[in-house]
Structure 1
Amino acid sequence: MYSFAHQPRAETRIEAPLDVGGTGFGDLGQVVDRIRSGLVWVIASGIAALVAAILALGLIPPIYTSQTEILVDPVDLKVIENGVNPSNQLADSGVSIVESQVKVIASDSVLSRVVSRLNLQDDPEFAPAPPQPGSLSETVKRALGLAPSEGPANPELQAVEALRRKMTVRRPERTFVIEVVVKSKSGQKSALIANTIADTFFTEETAARAKAAGRASDALAARLATLRGTLLEAEKKAAAFREKHNLVKAQGLLLGDQRLSELNAQLSAAALRTAALAKQAEQARDMRGRIGTALPEMLQSPEMRALRQQLVDLLRAQSEIGKKFGPRHPAVTEQGAQVRELEAAIAHEKGRIIESTIKEYDRASTYEKTIRRDIDGLKRETERNNRDLIVLRDLERNVETQRTIYESFLKRSRETGEQERLDTTNMRIISAATPPLGRSWPPSPKVVLPVALLFGLGLGAALVAYGGILRSLLRRRA
């Protein structure tokens, strides 16, 4: 049986701890002592870093940053009902519209106008003079592939590209605000450029909308001439057809319809008059063969009444004279002759009244028949007109359609013409750029100098400590 008691003991190897004193890493106190011994070098390193920072602050040209903020409301001002540039109708498209305006602000059309307004093409900051041929800077640029293309340099294009590099256009999240940030070597210049960019953007946007309205107005005006000719041709065709078929209207009705209405009214009156005269004519014919002067009441006339009254008065006088002087008295005889004359006159008036009544009835009957014939003729004409009216109404509908189209185009043309002079953009500057109180680069000496001093001291301490460690390692190896 194998006994574990007789196994040889494993040799335990204890490694010596690392001689931190020899390497210089183990004892923090030794590191501090080395730094103290090289404190002069540490201070010198901090002073050197401080001097380098001061020189850098003096040599690096300062950069000033100005910012202007523009609020872009996607919903334009509602000046007219139907604009060439319709207002935003989709809730999700507002951000896209603002993002598009960001691109417009940074476009060449806006920046080139800013360069022209501020003469930045003559500013060395934006359009520096080209290097001399064969100079060191040109040689280096050509070697690195940074040299411009062959040909004369365009200062305006250089200024536009330089301005684009020195500006930033952004839209903060969840806002319709556009921030235009411009950097320049002058605080006044950076503020002026930022405000000029915003003003030029407004001008460019208004001009673009006016130009779009102008194009629409010109297109509508060109179309109006064709529509006007089409409308006139349709009106002429309808008028010619109406005149040819005698379909003239007055007060909204055809003349034939108006005439038919008038004849119907006249026929009603004529029929009533004929019926009344027919009864009088019948009585007059009955009285024609009767002896005497009596007439029905409806056949009496003022002349007949006057004659009969004279006859009654004369007979009364004759009777009184006959009673007084006798029937053979000359006065009685004379009055008898007068009575006979009055009776003859009454008989004559009676005959005249009878004949006049019959003739009046005949005229009324003839007039009624004439009206009936005219009505029958108008009815036949109306039937023909009704067939022609079908064609006329179709022509008139075409006229109304062409007129509606023409008037809508005319109204739209005038609206777009007026819109050229209207600014419906709903944008404004909510924060104008002002000259900055301090530079944005390089940082303030209050920040740079302490940081440089700490960096120099730390670097000096590290170098001193590393130098001591390096010397210790070299002595150990020796």
Structure 2
Amino acid sequence: MYRPSEPDRQALRLETRFERPRSRGGSLLDFLPAAEPETDPEKPSAASPAPVAPVEPGRLRLSEYFPGLSLLGDLGVDDIVAWLRDGRRWIVMALVLCIGGALGYAMMATPRYTVYTDIVVDPANLNVVSDDVFMSNPQRDAQLLEVESRLRTLTSRNVLKRVIDKLRLTEDAEFVKPTPLSALFALFSSEDAKAGKELAAMRALSERVEARREERSFVVVLKVWSEEPAKAVMLADAIVSAFEAELFQSAAESAGRVAQNLNGRLDELRQSVTEAEKKVEEFRRANGLLSANGELVSNQLSSELNTQVLQAQQRFIQAETRYKQMSAAIAQGQTASASIFESADMTNLRQQYNALQQQIGSMQLTYGERHPRLAAARSERTTLEAAIRGEAQRIAERAKGDFDRERSALNALRAKASDEKSNVFTDNEAQVHLRDLEREARTKAAVYETHLARAQQITERQQIDTSNIRVISSAMPPESRSWPPRTIILLIAGAVFGLVGGVSMALALGLWRYVRGHQPAAG
């Protein structure tokens, strides 16, 4: 390909200042509008050469180092094609190197097999105990924070330490890479070597474990990878089991601390309750406050005496009334007909009197008023009336004795009730302070019983796992490795990367030669 010399290019650029013909396959600046001609007579014309500024001694212009900088606007497709043709060996070399590197990486890279386990971490624990130690917050933000906290526990060192101990990963070459000097170090410091293996296994396992929570859900996805598919599944299952055990142990330890604090407090509460109850009994004994069925004996005795006084008063009133009625009947001479006089003798006498009265009435009708038999009957009637009056008098005397006895009993009961009432007032005043002491003792006893029941409940709570963790998708052995990708994909990626790198290198070298003024050979 013919390329004009530098002066010809300068003349061509000056001639085409006002119009730009499209040549050399089309320049990138051909699509720009041509500059307007200058009409100022005082300025030099476009055809006249521009004045050259004098160069100071000891200073060089940038165009002397890069003479092609002023010609960048004339770059065309032919130049780029020429650069690519001149740099084809770099393109081929980069392509071969990248493909070879991709093939080598595919053959030598350690394979990774990734498994996934979906776990539902419900922040609301199982409601096994009605009044549990741990409280659940119904607010969604708080529940999400609880899930995030448990998510951090899933990948914590405590859980990974359980997995390392269970699967003996310190003896697994995948997690603890043996070194030539490791056996020698083990001879001198076995403890340090063991700690170093545990630390190395912990770091290796933590790099292979990842957990994240699905958005807008309580589902946690556990991601575990290993160099063997079966080992990846075994690691995932061991991590889930260790996670459940860690949550249970954490809850049990928290409940144990609460129970321990409560048990330490129980001795003080028990002693306080005993002292309060002793004060109650000592005060009761000192003031003679005997109680039966929850009531003071003095109150019960006073109540019984009041009842007896009422009963005695009723008997007294009855005896008084009966005696007065008898006295009135005797004063009025109605002893024979008054029903108040009741006795066996009085009944017999009244029957005899009534029979004799009937005989007298018959005799009067039969014999007349002066018959001797009638007179004898009337004499017998007088005798019976005297006997009835005597019997009525004896009954009245007995009634008076009953009346006097009931009055004496009533007065005695009233005096006794009055004395007992003063005792009741004294006991009631003492009982005010006694109730205060009993109230204090009951309060302390209630607190003690609450703490005792709570301590026993929390002690039993340590043996119950209430964490609501469920595996909804167990880890399955993967069908293919997750890293590195398939060999064909690596080869394609290496080819694309090599091609892009080779073309970029060829274009960069061509551009460098162009701005330095080195022209490619004509084609």
Q: Same fold (TM over 0.5)?
A: yes
1:381 Cα shift? 1.3
- Structure 1 residues 347 and 197: CA distance shift in structure 2, 3 A: same
- Structure 1 residues 443 and 286: CA distance shift in structure 2, 3 A: closer
- Structure 1 residues 19 and 99: CA distance shift in structure 2, 3 A: closer
1:174 Cα shift? 5.1
In the alignment, the residues of structure 2 paired with residue 452 and residue 179 of structure 1 have an alpha-carbon distance, to the nearest angstrom, of 33
1:310 aligned residue (347, 352, 356) = 352
1:152 is the counterpart of 2:201: no
- Structure 1 residues 43 and 263: CA distance shift in structure 2, 3 A: same
- Structure 1 residues 440 and 289: CA distance shift in structure 2, 3 A: closer
In the alignment, the residues of structure 1 paired with residue 350 and residue 42 of structure 2 have an alpha-carbon distance, to the nearest angstrom, of 194
Which one-letter code corresponds to 1:435 in the other structure?
P
Q: Deviations over 1:198-227 (max 9, x none)?
A: 221111101211221122223323323432
- Structure 1 residues 217 and 463: CA distance shift in structure 2, 3 A: closer
In the alignment, the residues of structure 1 paired with residue 351 and residue 194 of structure 2 have an alpha-carbon distance, to the nearest angstrom, of 133
In the alignment, the residues of structure 2 paired with residue 216 and residue 303 of structure 1 have an alpha-carbon distance, to the nearest angstrom, of 90
Counting only pairs closer than 5 Å after superposition, residues 192-341 of structure 1 correspond to structure 2 as 192-285=234-327, 294=336, 296-313=338-355
Describe the SS at the equivalent of 2:149: helix
1:387 aligned residue (424, 429, 434) = 429
1:286 Cα shift? 6.2
Describe the SS at the equivalent of 1:67: strand
Partner of 1:165: 207
Partner of 1:359: 401
Alpha carbons 2:336, 2:385 under 8 Å: kept: no
Q: Deviations over 1:40-97 (max 9, x none)?
A: 8855653453333222211111122223233333333444343212212555433433
Mean CA deviation greater in 209-218 or 82-91: 82-91
Which one-letter code corresponds to 2:193 in the other structure?
P
Mean CA deviation greater in 106-115 or 403-412: 403-412
1:428 Cα shift? 2.7
Q: Which runs of 5+ in 2 are unaligned?
A: 1-39, 53-62
Which one-letter code corresponds to 1:58 in the other structure?
M
In the alignment, the residues of structure 2 paired with residue 239 and residue 66 of structure 1 have an alpha-carbon distance, to the nearest angstrom, of 73
**TM-score normalised to the size of structure 1?**
0.78
2:133 aligned residue (66, 84, 90) = 84
Alpha carbons 2:68, 2:517 under 8 Å: kept: no
1:380 Cα shift? 1.0
Alpha carbons 2:120, 2:471 under 8 Å: kept: yes
Mean CA deviation greater in 76-85 or 280-289: 280-289
Partner of 1:56: 105
Partner of 2:493: 451
Describe the SS at the equivalent of 1:247: coil
Which one-letter code corresponds to 1:74 in the other structure?
P
- Structure 1 residues 8 and 436: CA distance shift in structure 2, 3 A: closer
Partner of 2:476: 434
In the alignment, the residues of structure 2 paired with residue 5 and residue 342 of structure 1 have an alpha-carbon distance, to the nearest angstrom, of 189
In the alignment, the residues of structure 1 paired with residue 334 and residue 129 of structure 2 have an alpha-carbon distance, to the nearest angstrom, of 94
Q: Deviations over 1:5-57 (max 9, x none)?
A: 89987534899xx889x99x956446646756886885565345333322221
Describe the SS at the equivalent of 2:340: helix
Partner of 2:228: 186
Describe the SS at the equivalent of 2:193: coil
In the alignment, the residues of structure 1 paired with residue 191 and residue 441 of structure 2 have an alpha-carbon distance, to the nearest angstrom, of 67
Which one-letter code corresponds to 2:171 in the other structure?
D
Alpha carbons 1:76, 1:88 under 8 Å: kept: no
Q: Which runs of 5+ in 1 are unaligned?
A: 139-147
Alpha carbons 1:72, 1:176 under 8 Å: kept: yes
Which one-letter code corresponds to 2:98 in the other structure?
A
Partner of 2:163: 114
In the alignment, the residues of structure 1 paired with residue 285 and residue 191 of structure 2 have an alpha-carbon distance, to the nearest angstrom, of 79
Alpha carbons 2:336, 2:388 under 8 Å: kept: no
Describe the SS at the equivalent of 1:436: coil
Describe the SS at the equivalent of 2:436: helix
In the alignment, the residues of structure 2 paired with residue 395 and residue 312 of structure 1 have an alpha-carbon distance, to the nearest angstrom, of 76
Partner of 1:141: none
Q: Deviations over 1:292-344 (max 9, x none)?
A: 964743123232021232355468779999999x9999xx99x9999898677
Give % identity: 31
Partner of 1:125: 174
Mean CA deviation greater in 38-47 or 465-474: 465-474
1:96 is the counterpart of 2:138: no
In the alignment, the residues of structure 2 paired with residue 7 and residue 292 of structure 1 have an alpha-carbon distance, to the nearest angstrom, of 176
Aligned residues: 458
Partner of 2:420: 378
1:388 Cα shift? 0.9
- Structure 1 residues 406 and 458: CA distance shift in structure 2, 3 A: closer
Mean CA deviation greater in 408-417 or 108-117: 408-417
In the alignment, the residues of structure 2 paired with residue 27 and residue 390 of structure 1 have an alpha-carbon distance, to the nearest angstrom, of 116
Mean CA deviation greater in 224-233 or 353-362: 224-233
Alpha carbons 1:213, 1:420 under 8 Å: kept: yes
In the alignment, the residues of structure 2 paired with residue 336 and residue 268 of structure 1 have an alpha-carbon distance, to the nearest angstrom, of 50
Describe the SS at the equivalent of 2:476: coil
**TM-score normalised to the size of structure 2?**
0.72
Alpha carbons 2:335, 2:341 under 8 Å: kept: no
Mean CA deviation greater in 451-460 or 123-132: 451-460
In the alignment, the residues of structure 1 paired with residue 41 and residue 338 of structure 2 have an alpha-carbon distance, to the nearest angstrom, of 182
1:464 Cα shift? 6.5
- Structure 1 residues 456 and 85: CA distance shift in structure 2, 3 A: same
1:454 Cα shift? 2.8
Partner of 1:425: 467
Q: What is the root-mean-square deviation in Å for CA atoms of aligned residues?
A: 4.5
Partner of 2:49: 11
Mean CA deviation greater in 154-163 or 290-299: 290-299
Mean CA deviation greater in 467-476 or 416-425: 467-476
Q: Deviations over 1:405-424 (max 9, x none)?
A: 12322332233233223333
Q: Deviations over 1:253-279 (max 9, x none)?
A: 433333333333333333233233223
- Structure 1 residues 228 and 447: CA distance shift in structure 2, 3 A: same
- Structure 1 residues 313 and 176: CA distance shift in structure 2, 3 A: closer
Alpha carbons 1:66, 1:433 under 8 Å: kept: yes
Describe the SS at the equivalent of 2:482: coil
Mean CA deviation greater in 301-310 or 36-45: 36-45
1:346 Cα shift? 4.4
Which one-letter code corresponds to 2:262 in the other structure?
L
Describe the SS at the equivalent of 2:114: strand
- Structure 1 residues 342 and 222: CA distance shift in structure 2, 3 A: farther
